[in-house]
Amino acid sequence: MSEFSMTIDGGGAATETAFPVTNPATGEVMAEAPESTRGQVDEAMSAAARAFESWQYDRPLRQKALKDLASAVEANLEELAEVITMEEGKPLGESRSELGDVVNDLRYFATLEVPAEIVRDDERTAVRVLRRPAGPVAAITPWNFPLGTAVAKIAPALAAGCTVVLKPSPYTPLSCLRFGELSRSVLPAGVLSVLSGSNEVGSWMTEHPVPRMVSFTGSVATGKRIAASSAPDLKRVILELGGNDPAIILDDAVVDDIADALFANAFANCGQVCVAIKRVYVPDALHDELVEALVSRAKAAKVGDGRLEASEIGPLCNQMQFDRVSELVGDAASRGARVAAGGHAIDGPGYFFEPTILTDVDDGLRIVDEEQFGPVLPVIRYDGIEEVLKRANATHFGLGASIWTSDAERGSALAPRVDSGTVWVNTHQSAVPGQPFGGVKWSGIGVEGGPWGLLSFTEVQAIHVAK
């Protein structure tokens, strides 16, 4: 792979040190990424503060720039897809689809307006409420959708009039670095800087006096640290954190109708999706049929290097995640779980793990209670609706959930009783343009997507005029 450079104040930034980025399908180093210094964080923040002065007032420029960024991504889509697949592992088709979301986000927020609201307008008094951009934003993102999670912040933040300093995960910095390079000919200097480096670079950003907001996507543990480090300066935080989404199968569901969608929504991106199905609750009467359907799909799935078009499931993204998944499966097996499919790492280079279905599991087991973030799905029996709702909600997580039934109205009526930011009925992970997305409890603070996502990057200003 060619060189990748950081973008600071509209140009490339040289660094003395670099760190290796590994292709998870081969276990080999595919490229090096620059390691940002603390001084470069300062430079990027100063540039963001300078650019904010005029960017916040120039909506036509913002609209044009977001549309031009979308076109730049489209024009480079195949190269970016290959970079995402090589740094993260997902099959090329999934990388293209991530980039499709990136293009859609940029175009959606380019035209989304936030109208002023009138509270009163009579002979004596006029009160209107504006939404002003929050200020420079520190954006910090994870590795599972390297460019998708970044642009889910950049697009609404820039549209709202904020400027952004982005730091992607050190496992997958390359697609964001390339996006930064593409942005140089589209955005005014300082509007978007892209740094790369270790977790420490992220903490320099959240502690820095310039950003007025930290927008973070990643794990619950890091989200708590970021909330704590943003507190002394009262920075606003948006936290999009982990999940442990339950899929609740109702007794009227038809297994043949739902098995493909259940499997796909548990194993897409090798299970490394914040809103993947991470535990399935099924009534006794449907248990065996559902397990058989999932097992046959797990055994048939083609696992391989994401660059091969035949591959349906790629490797886990990194050694840390590979070790974690191996540990959770080992723990479950040692505590009486039945491995109905898979259960082992795949021999050879790369972080490949067999698609795994576990049965004879229950709440209290780590694989059920924790976020596995990998190609492993526990199937759990339940007896009645009240019981399963209680068990689905008995967790610190609250990102997504789904209800599967042949009666969509019945599912829809139960949905508000699940404690999560999104509840799907007969689907999971689906979103239409304009739909908000966020978590409750430990799964996050604030939302992305739709008008709510844009408003997240603003502050309310009331203007009260005595006539």
Residues assigned a catalytic role = 240, 274
d(CA 314, CA 85): 9
Q: Which of 183, 222, 372, 422 binds ligand NAD (CB under 6 A)?
A: 222
d(CA 126, CA 131): 17
Residue 199 binding ligand NAD, by CB under 6 A: yes
* Residues 20-59 interacting with ligand NAD (rule: CB under 6 A): none
Minimum distance, C-beta of residue 38 to ligand NAD, in the bound complex (Å): 13
Minimum distance, C-beta of residue 182 to ligand NAD, in the bound complex (Å): 20
DSSP secondary structure letter of residue 1: -
- Cα separations in angstroms, 357 against 45, 72, 251, 322, 405: 47, 41, 21, 17, 21
d(CA 342, CA 306): 19
Minimum distance, C-beta of residue 170 to ligand NAD, in the bound complex (Å): 6
Q: Burial code of 360-375, b = ≥16 C-beta within 10 A, e = fewer?
A: bbeeebebbbbbbbbb
DSSP string, 45-105: HHHHHHHHHHHTT-HHHHHHHHHHHHHHHHHTHHHHHHHHHHHH---HHHHHHHHHHHHHH
DSSP secondary structure letter of residue 233: G
* Residues 257-276 interacting with ligand NAD (rule: CB under 6 A): 274
Region of 85-93, 116-124, 213-221, 357-365 interacting with ligand NAD (CB under 6 A): 213-221
d(CA 16, CA 435): 43
DSSP secondary structure letter of residue 372: -
Between 55 and 143, name the residue whose CB sits nearer to ligand NAD.
143
Number of residues that bind ligand NAD (CB under 6 A): 30
Residue written as tokens 């209290």?
364
Q: x/- binding map, residues 135-174, to ligand NAD, per CB under 6 A?
A: -----xxxxx----x-----------------xxxx----
Minimum distance, C-beta of residue 397 to ligand NAD, in the bound complex (Å): 9
Q: Which of 243, 246, 378, 453 binds ligand NAD (CB under 6 A)?
A: 243
Q: Summarize the chain as % helix, strand, coil (round to 5).
A: 40, 25, 35
* Residues 335-394 interacting with ligand NAD (rule: CB under 6 A): 371, 373
Residue 71 binding ligand NAD, by CB under 6 A: no
Residue written as tokens 């642009």?
151
Residue written as tokens 């050694």?
319
Q: Which of 50, 132, 225, 410 binds ligand NAD (CB under 6 A)?
A: 225
* Residues 398-437 interacting with ligand NAD (rule: CB under 6 A): 399
Region of 122-130, 216-224, 247-255, 356-364 interacting with ligand NAD (CB under 6 A): 216-224
Q: Which of 241, 247, 250, 303 binds ligand NAD (CB under 6 A)?
A: 241
| CB-based contact 397:443 (threshold 8 Å) | yes
Q: Which of 94, 240, 305, 312 binds ligand NAD (CB under 6 A)?
A: 240
Between 4 and 143, name the residue whose CB sits nearer to ligand NAD.
143
**Contacts with ligand NAD, residue ranges (CB under 6 A):** 140-144, 149, 167-170, 199, 202-203, 206, 217-219, 222, 225-226, 240-243, 274, 371, 373, 399, 439, 444
